[in-house]
Structure 1
Amino acid sequence: MRYYIVTGEHSGDIHGADLITEIKKIDHQAHFWSCGGPLMQKAMGAPCMVNATEMAYMGLDFLKKFYKLWKLLEYCKQSLIEYRPNVVILIDYSGFNMRLASFAQHNGFQIYYYIPPKIWAHGAKRIERIKRDIQKVFSTLPFEAAYYREHGFLNTYYVGNPLVKKVSSHIINPLFKKENALDQRPIIALLPGSRIDEVRRILPIITAGAAHFTSYQLIVAGLSHLPKGLYQTFNATNIKVVFDQTYDLLAAAQVGIIASGTASLEAALFNLPQIVVYKTSPLTHFIYKRITTIDCISLVNLLVGKIVVPELIQHELTPQNLRKTLTMVLHETCNQQLSIYHHIRNILGKEEAPLQTAKSIVESIKTHISVNHKKGTDA
């Protein structure tokens, strides 16, 4: 069968690669057209037709890339008509993907959404578009699946969270410190995000705030798909960068300072006390505050419905505030976070999201093909 998969940015590439791997185990004749990154390309054993790294942006920074994104969207539409897949699978990246979904629905394609639009954060206005254009939603957050169903989209399924298995199956490198020339001081892990603009805005502030803790070594989780020059923004001698070893860093650290996103949940699954931070452009933040309906942004806090992990967002993210909050976490609230992490594992359960999603997609396509074939025979 033919699968047309579209995502954007680094996290979507990770989830897309895992889903492709599971689909191939079930459907040995699977063929893919994809917009993705290097991990999806490796999973398919074939090139992605669109490079998702070209599509990464932060907030209103998409205006800088508007023409490029519009051209990519038009290319995806044309390719969809030419490829004629059995199913369109959209992964995260809702601004782009919902526009593509509208086109795909108009042209009669089956459309499934894995890691759907976060309507619970921005209000349920978009639910009508989702009802119109999407046949099934596969959610990786239990409260999100419940929200969709409560607002009338009943074909929503909680399939488990992919990070649970990814973290539990990670084999920790026992030589992590030695191979990276780290000393024996405890580690503060700094995760400034996976987008260029995130790192530019966040990394200088968190290194300035944490550099005061000289009895610790500060280790930045670098990503090799970003320009290395992004990580050369500090002079403190107790700061180092390690590339593409985030899980080993989270496992070795005593505390983390983490840009909001999936990394905060990964830190929780590694039992790492943390502070969640975020900073975007003033205009983006101004608009965000007027459209959002939630009081916190960390996935840990959203899952338990209260503030457990401290959040320093926008103007609150200063070196002084970070220093004060980090002192509090290290000496006062560390155990409180650790006790909540056990509860989060129970909430997420043990279902393997890529496997469950792949099974449901393949079975749904077969049923759809069978029904259409029967209709054609009866006619």
Structure 2
Amino acid sequence: MLAGEASGDILGAGLIAALQKRYAQVEVVGIAGPRMQALGAESLFPMERLSVMGLVEPLKRLPELLKIRRTLRQYFIQDPPDVFIGIDSPDFNLGLEESLRSAGIPTVHYVSPSVWAWRRGRIKKIARAVDHILTLLPFEADFYREHAVPVTFVGHPLADDIPLDVDVAAARKKLGFSSDDQVVALLPGSRGGEVRLLGPLFLQAAKWCHQRRPELKFVLPAASADRRQQLEAQIAEAPGCADLPLTLLDGDSQTALAAADTVLIASGTATLETMLMGKPMVVAYKMAALSYAIFSRMLHTPWVSLPNLLAQRELVPEILQNDATPEALGAAILQYFDDPLLQDQLRREFGELHQQLRRDASERAAESVCRLLASREAS
């Protein structure tokens, strides 16, 4: 089992726990984060070595990444597992899966690459690389069925974990906010590169909003100790931001989201978490100019955020790259405070999407893996 970043570690841990219910003994080896390791997974390399963002940036680390993949391929071919499960990280995992499948090892890919959105030609490689693919979102499974790739829609573990009714009062009490406070959560991402590009922008957007609504308060969860240090430096350096009514947290993003009225957030998995928490949001993103130039030309969908993709229409504003200015982000945030009916409508629609994704994902994923193993044994 191989996870390349924190979200994959969460999925992997859930799948390991579900497999352990079905088998008396489960040995997991590959690349694992702390949650997977806590359940007994052995990590042959630090997971952080695979966490690279963008299109151009991974090229700088390509020799190291290729060496890791070669080592893993040799390791698993010499000591074949019952099944190899690649969790997300498609650019790394699919090549490894293809090699292992050619060597007779059953392969599962957990989390669909965004092949329906860009680089659609990858569907041919996916078909060669995997015996089965597990998708978190329903429209992804439809795409694979159209291309005759064995697939199971398992739902999303976050939809299982997050309650349908979030306890806002408890979250606000924990963070020291009153029920009357107007709170904006800022989530500029979990990777250093994301925070480098989005952190100062989000802080300036908060400043812009606060100048117009001095009653606003802000909460900013740092994904790790390194991100906290990075954010603290940005707060100190950003003109006029040191005096913002800003609560900086160590992790605890769900508490920050639960306490917030609205959220300014980087595009990514966290937008799904925010939707499941029922929070109106403004989605923003920036990447290196060359990466964005390549990415934007390859995109086959008008949306990038998961709420909009799930709804297949624009539920929440997406403000990207050069359009992402403090003024544009700030105006979109304040629109929610000016229009309570819009907030209520979004919460209703988010609740409906939450129900669609609430499928006991880890158990369904484990059941699919078990069926694959059983079919291989029968043949």
Shared fold per TM-score greater than 0.5: yes
TM-score by length of 2: 0.91
Q: What's 1:115 paired with?
A: 111
Alignment equivalent of 2:75, drawn from 63, 68, 79: 79
Does the 8 Å CA contact 1:113/1:136 hold for their aligned counterparts?
yes
Q: Deviations over 1:22-56 (max 9, x none)?
A: 11111121111121211111122x54222211211
Q: Which runs of 5+ in 1 are unaligned?
A: 372-379
Q: Describe the shift of the 1:36–1:119 C-alpha distance in structure 2 as closer, same or farther (beyond 3 A).
A: same
Shift of residue 256, structure 1, vs aligned partner = 0.6
Q: What's 1:252 paired with?
A: 259
Q: What's 1:196 paired with?
A: 192
Q: Deviations over 1:51-96 (max 9, x none)?
A: 2112111112112221221221122112212331010101111000
Cα RMSD between the aligned structures?
A: 2.0
Does the 8 Å CA contact 1:12/1:92 hold for their aligned counterparts?
yes
Alignment equivalent of 1:270, drawn from 256, 271, 277: 277
Does the 8 Å CA contact 1:124/1:151 hold for their aligned counterparts?
no
Rounded Cα–Cα distance in structure 2 between residues aligned with 1:42 and 1:204:
35
Q: Which runs of 5+ in 2 are unaligned?
A: 236-241
Q: Deviations over 1:255-308 (max 9, x none)?
A: 111111121111111111111111101000000011110111111001111111
Aligned pairs for 1:100-139 within 5 A: 100-139=96-135
Does the 8 Å CA contact 1:159/1:353 hold for their aligned counterparts?
yes
Q: Describe the shift of the 1:228–1:127 C-alpha distance in structure 2 as closer, same or farther (beyond 3 A).
A: same
Does the 8 Å CA contact 1:10/1:194 hold for their aligned counterparts?
no
Task: State the one-letter code of the partner of 1:50.
Answer: F
Aligned pairs for 1:162-173 within 5 A: 162-168=157-163
Task: State the one-letter code of the partner of 2:269.
Answer: T
Shift of residue 336, structure 1, vs aligned partner = 3.1
Provide the secondary structure at the position in 1 that maps to 2:28.
strand
Deviates more, 1:352-361 or 1:184-193: 184-193
Task: State the one-letter code of the partner of 1:219.
Answer: V
Q: What's 1:157 paired with?
A: 152
Q: Describe the shift of the 1:175–1:341 C-alpha distance in structure 2 as closer, same or farther (beyond 3 A).
A: closer
- Figure out how many residues of one structure are paired with residues of the other and give that number: 364
Q: Deviations over 1:305-351 (max 9, x none)?
A: 11110111111111011111111122123233223213313432x31
Alignment equivalent of 1:345, drawn from 334, 346, 354: 354
Q: What's 2:215 paired with?
A: 215
Rounded Cα–Cα distance in structure 1 between residues aligned with 2:251 and 2:154:
27
Q: What's 1:366 paired with?
A: 374
Alignment equivalent of 1:56, drawn from 43, 51, 69: 51
Task: State the one-letter code of the partner of 2:371.
Answer: E
Q: Describe the shift of the 1:288–1:223 C-alpha distance in structure 2 as closer, same or farther (beyond 3 A).
A: same
Alignment identity in percent? 29
Does the 8 Å CA contact 1:278/1:314 hold for their aligned counterparts?
yes
Moved over 4 A (4+): 169-184
Does the 8 Å CA contact 2:136/2:154 hold for their aligned counterparts?
yes
Q: Describe the shift of the 1:230–1:183 C-alpha distance in structure 2 as closer, same or farther (beyond 3 A).
A: farther
Rounded Cα–Cα distance in structure 1 between residues aligned with 2:353 and 2:168:
25
Rounded Cα–Cα distance in structure 2 between residues aligned with 1:347 and 1:47:
34
Q: Describe the shift of the 1:318–1:107 C-alpha distance in structure 2 as closer, same or farther (beyond 3 A).
A: same
Does the 8 Å CA contact 2:265/2:271 hold for their aligned counterparts?
yes
Alignment equivalent of 1:15, drawn from 1, 11, 17: 11
Q: What's 2:334 paired with?
A: 327
